[in-house]
């Protein structure tokens, strides 16, 4: 029997290795898997590369993880926001390497990893500083930059509803990076507010099919990121 | 002379949106535009985080923390709204499906070059977000911004000194002081903040402006 | 007011030009926009390039369009099936050019067009006859083939439900190529079994957002392809 | 000696699928495998046209024309099934998310090269479908097929003469006559159709076979 539901946060995050590339879903404070991030801090893996659209605000969730000093590198589109104090501290102290990636390229690179592609040509950032050192080429009279897939060892994703096969739905715009990150990581770990019977999610309404999900932990009252 | 408020800049820009336009709203002043739909028109506002059909801000104290815009402010949904994941959202943006992107800017050049992600100061951590995707992918880019920096330096310049977001993409500027078109023959001021003289406007602008023959005061 | 609903098939297909690239959704007999295809035959555009996973069976729908002689070229993954008599006739008579594309590459090429990408590297077909003449490169020790976007001038798509903004849902596995083709064409024309009020499709449950749809024609009792 | 029926080939292959396996079913004999889930196991069958969780064929006269498999036959859905569009379906296939692809073949070589899309006959129009994507993307490829062509020519060969689908991908073969592993040291027959001698099997095979020490008759 397929049962991806695990009993504890510890089990959900066991064997996350030092040096892992960790994809963390969310945009602003929406869709951030706060409890999984706390679980990862508890778990203790270090020398991590974190891929996340923002760098957290205040000192919770992504910011809290950065503050542990266990993140070597951040791959991110918009790390500096109001309240991104931990990121700014770590960055100016030279304790955090930053790879700045345009948001659509960030998402598309993870999708390329999920889709088994070797790379793609995008017009985004062509001719700018963020394309420096990258291969570019003219295609039909327009300049494109070659971007490579970005694969995660682990993805941390917040879902609204899950069944034991790993089928997921998401809550409103908390969906954001969740589906792409789940598909782009070798180990997709999901926190779900509600666990439902197999078959309770209508086949046409599944947002992330279970094939992309490895472990589910039930977090019935998830914290919204950015709240104390 | 402070000219238009942020809300008035947004209201003025909204007035130019045509019925049926699909318009991405970037961070900053552009986010406010969702509050100003011209009477009798339907505008489909897009937010990069996976929302099409953004409505006005919710009443104070209401709203859902999982319904936010690019500026991370609370939004509502219009009837006809749809939710999708980030990669699909940027299919819309990069693929030319967005009619207009309304963006903020640090600098805009005479040729429509846009700089809005970095001052080039190595000590200041940069943040790009969806700006480069929008600049490369939207069918048109309009900029909404304060006319000058807080210390009064011009943001409209002959040539951007900050790292570029994209070249030759901005078609129109809405500032607290004016509405300015980027044309092949240069920048043309079409509307001036009420009470502002063209000489004053030129004085706060780092590139040569022409005044349109049919210029008028900004009306909001 | 946005209203993509048009009153007639003729209006839905007006200004489809000779020489157009026409994307036709469907897999086997599921999801084939039979009425739109009949409408296109009626409309009369010729010298078409048709992109479709199959080439029809019997003498209806896609096969009927091929039989008019107005299709110059077929871009297809699986044209030869039991009953693909018209395709076989046209092909062996040298009256139809065929570009055979692996199914996933076909779909991904259209997605690349929808997404504004200049091309992508895929491992599919590397080292085979279908990669001949294409650029290939080794990436991380594996051979990939460069594939270019495939854009449609027109897409013909069968949906289950539509609102006046063009938001769509699909019926079961009739979804297949519909969402990708709608997004990949300059003019996406949709036949929908049911037209619903704006707001009747819950935002989280929209499959194809209206941004990808241009015209909708109401076909309340659509024919299933392959039925007489 | 005709050996196993198509249904028995499918049943035999199904017996090797492990609990929780995600298995794509290709055109032909593989499509039948959905009818044979070993007791006590859950197998998630994938169909390239956008279905995960394919169930057995519906009863005769039942079924929905919009629920079909790669062979365009009617299917049912299991509880837990999901529907998605074609491009997402091939994200699963190409991206290595499918544990096993069960495919038909025209020829398979000693090294596991697969040819299943064209005889190379220019007059015969080709058809590739999802075969190349599956061969390149699935974590494993097993072939289910008749051991020989209708006229008795071997389909298991030293070297494929037909154009390849992919090189060195086939790990195991289920035919009406045998179960054969593709190993680094060559083809190894593990199971033979009841009543078939190894010599007879070798006689219908266009490449050298070894017989496994622990070989046994196919049991279905």
pLDDT tens digit string along A168-216?
999 999 999 999 999 999 999 999 999 999 999 999 999 999 999 999 9
pLDDT reading at C27 higher than 90 = yes
Determine phi and psi for B6, rounding to 5 degrees. Answer: -55, -40
pLDDT reading at C166 higher than 90 = yes
Token pair for residue B213?
């023959």
How close does chain B come to C94, measured CA to CA in Å?
36
Residue A144 belongs to a domain with what CATH number? Answer: 3.40.1080.10
Q: Is residue C4 part of a domain?
A: no
Which residue matches tokens 């943040």?
B127
Cβ distance of B126 and A100 shorter than 8 Å: yes
Residue among A105, A126, A175 whose CB faces B50 most closely: A175
In CATH, what is the architecture of D6-176? 3-Layer(aba) Sandwich (3.40)
**Contact between D44 and D22 (Cβ < 8 Å):** yes
Q: Quick one: average pLDDT of D142-147? A: 98
Q: Which chains form contacts with chain D, at 3 or more CB pairs under 8 Å?
A: A, C
pLDDT reading at C116 higher than 90 = yes
pLDDT reading at B126 higher than 90 = no
CB contact, 8 Å: B66 with chain C?
no
Q: Quick one: average pLDDT of D2-22? A: 96
Q: Residue window 49-68, chain A: list those with CB within 8 Å of chain C.
A: none
Q: Is residue A115 part of a domain?
A: yes
* Band of pLDDT at residue B85, cut at 50, 70 and 90: very high
Residue among A119, A140, A142 whose CB faces C120 most closely: A119
Residue to substitute from C113, C118, C161, C206, interface A, most A β-carbons within 10 A = C118
CB contact, 8 Å: A142 with chain C?
yes
Residue among A116, A117, A167 whose CB faces D80 most closely: A167
* Band of pLDDT at residue B112, cut at 50, 70 and 90: very high
pLDDT in tens, D23-70: 999 999 999 999 999 999 999 999 999 999 999 999 999 999 999 999
Residue to substitute from B34, B45, B55, B66, interface A, most A β-carbons within 10 A = B66
Quick one: what percent of chain A has pLDDT higher than 70?
Answer: 100
How close does chain C come to D154, measured CA to CA in Å?
22
Q: Is B146 a catalytic residue?
A: no
Q: Residue window 128-157, chain C: list those with CB within 8 Å of chain B.
A: none
Cβ distance of D83 and C91 shorter than 8 Å: no
pLDDT reading at A165 higher than 80 = yes
Alpha-helical runs (H) found in B51-205? 86-94, 131-137, 198-203
Cβ distance of A103 and B85 shorter than 8 Å: no
pLDDT of residue B123: 77
Instruction: Tally C-beta pairs within 8 A across A and C.
Output: 62
Kindly provide the ipTM of the predicted complex, given to two decimals.
0.97
Q: Residue window 17-46, chain D: list those with CB within 8 Å of chain C.
A: none
Token pair for residue A48?
């991590």
Indicate if the alpha-carbon torsion angle B110, B114, B117, B118 is positive or negative. negative
Q: Which chains form contacts with chain B, at 3 or more CB pairs under 8 Å?
A: A, C
Q: Is residue A131 part of a domain?
A: yes
Q: Which pTM was predicted?
A: 0.98
Q: Quick one: average pLDDT of D142-154? A: 96
**Whether B and D touch (3+ CB pairs < 8 Å), yes or no:** no
How close does chain C come to B49, measured CA to CA in Å?
13
Q: Where are the beta strands (DSSP E) in A20-128?
A: 21-24, 48-51, 71-76, 97-100, 119-122
pLDDT of residue A153: 98
Residue to substitute from C173, C205, C225, interface D, most D β-carbons within 10 A = C173
Cβ distance of B83 and C206 shorter than 8 Å: yes
Cβ distance of A119 and C121 shorter than 8 Å: yes
pLDDT reading at D123 higher than 80 = no
Q: Which of B42, B48, B59, B122 is catalytic?
A: B48
pLDDT reading at B124 higher than 90 = no
Cβ distance of D82 and A2 shorter than 8 Å: no
pLDDT of residue C181: 98
pLDDT reading at B202 higher than 90 = yes
pLDDT of residue B220: 85
pLDDT reading at B1 higher than 80 = no
- Return the residue of C nearest to A141 by Cα: C118
- Return the residue of A nearest to C120 by Cα: A120
**Whether B and C touch (3+ CB pairs < 8 Å), yes or no:** yes
Query: Measured between beta carbons, which residues in chain D are less than 8 angstroms from residue C171?
Result: 66
Cβ distance of A108 and B87 shorter than 8 Å: yes
Distances (CA, A) of C122 to A2, A116, A180, A200, C126: 31, 7, 18, 36, 8
Q: Quick one: average pLDDT of D188-193? A: 98
Residue D19 burial by Cβ neighbours in a 10 Å radius (0-12, 13-18, 19+): exposed
Q: How many domains does chain A have?
A: 1
Q: Is residue A173 part of a domain?
A: yes
- The counts of H helices and E strands in chain B are 5, 13
Query: Measured between beta carbons, which residues in chain A are less than 8 angstroms from residue D82?
Result: 167, 201, 203, 206, 209-210
Q: Is residue A16 part of a domain?
A: yes
Q: Is residue C139 part of a domain?
A: yes
Cβ distance of A206 and D46 shorter than 8 Å: no
Q: Where are the domains of chain B?
A: 6-176
pLDDT of residue C157: 98
pLDDT of residue C144: 98
pLDDT in tens, A75-92: 999 999 888 999 999 999
Domain range enclosing C85: 9-218
Q: Residue window 135-174, chain D: list those with CB within 8 Å of chain A.
A: 136-137
Quick one: what percent of chain D has pLDDT higher than 90?
Answer: 95
Cβ distance of A203 and D82 shorter than 8 Å: yes
Concatenated DSSP letters of chain D: ---S-HHHHHHHHHHTPPTT-EEEE-SSGGGGGGG-PPTT---EEEETTTEEEEEPPPPTT---TT-B-TTS-B-EEEEEEEE--HHHHHHHHHTT--SEEEE--SEEETT--EE-S--S-TTSPP--TTHHHHHHHSS-EEEEE-SB-TTS-BSEESS--SPPSBSS-EEEEEESSEEEEEETTEEEEEEE-TT--HHHHHHT-BS-EEEEEEEEE---
Cβ distance of A120 and C142 shorter than 8 Å: no
* Band of pLDDT at residue A10, cut at 50, 70 and 90: very high
């Amino acid at each position: 029997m397929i049962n991806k539901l695990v009993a504890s946060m510890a089990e959900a995050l066991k064997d996350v290795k030092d040096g892992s590339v960790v994809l963390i879903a969310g945009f602003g404070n929406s869709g951030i898997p706060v409890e999984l991030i706390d679980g990862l801090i508890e778990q203790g893996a270090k020398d991590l590369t974190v891929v996340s659209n923002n760098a957290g605000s205040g000192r919770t969730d992504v910011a809290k993880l950065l503050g542990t000093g266990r993140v070597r590198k951040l791959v991110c589109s918009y790390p500096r926001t109001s309240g991104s104090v931990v990121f700014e501290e770590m960055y100016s102290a030279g304790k955090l390497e930053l790879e700045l990636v345009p948001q659509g390229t960030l998402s598309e690179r993870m999708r390329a990893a999920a889709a088994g592609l070797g790379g793609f040509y995008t017009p985004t950032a062509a001719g700018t500083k963020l394309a420096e050192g990258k291969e570019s080429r003219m295609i039909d009279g327009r300049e494109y930059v070659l971007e490579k897939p970005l694969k995660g060892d682990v993805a941390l994703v917040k879902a609204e509803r899950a069944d034991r096969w790993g089928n997921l739905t998401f809550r409103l715009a908390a969906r954001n990076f969740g589906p792409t990150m789940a598909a782009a990581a070798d180990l997709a770990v999901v926190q779900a507010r509600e666990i439902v019977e197999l078959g309770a999610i209508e086949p046409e309404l599944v947002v992330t099919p279970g094939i992309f999900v490895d472990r589910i932990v039930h977090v019935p009252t998830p914290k919204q990121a950015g709240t104390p | 002379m402070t000219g238009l408020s942020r809300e008035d800049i947004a209201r003025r820009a909204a007035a130019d949106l045509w019925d049926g336009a699909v318009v991405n709203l970037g961070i900053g002043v552009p986010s406010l535009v969702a509050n100003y739909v011209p009477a009798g028109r339907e505008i489909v506002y897009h937010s990069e985080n996976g929302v099409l059909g953004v409505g006005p801000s919710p009443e104070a104290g209401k709203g859902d923390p999982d319904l936010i815009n690019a500026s991370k402010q609370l939004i509502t949904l219009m009837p006809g709204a749809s939710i999708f994941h980030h990669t699909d959202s940027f299919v819309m943006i990069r693929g030319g499906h967005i009619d207009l992107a309304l963006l903020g800017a640090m600098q805009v050049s005479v040729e429509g070059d846009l700089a809005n992600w970095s001052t080039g100061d190595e000590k200041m951590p940069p943040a790009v977000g969806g700006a480069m995707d929008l600049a490369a992918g939207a069918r048109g880019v309009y900029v909404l911004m304060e006319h000058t920096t807080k210390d009064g330096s011009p943001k409209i310049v002959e040539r951007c000194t900050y790292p570029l977001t994209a070249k030759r993409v901005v078609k129109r500027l809405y500032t607290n002081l004016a509405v300015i078109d980027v044309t092949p023959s240069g920048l043309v001021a079409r509307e001036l903040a009420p009470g502002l003289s063209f000489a004053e406007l030129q004085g706060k602008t780092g590139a040569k402006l022409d005044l349109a023959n049919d210029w008028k005061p900004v009306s909001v």
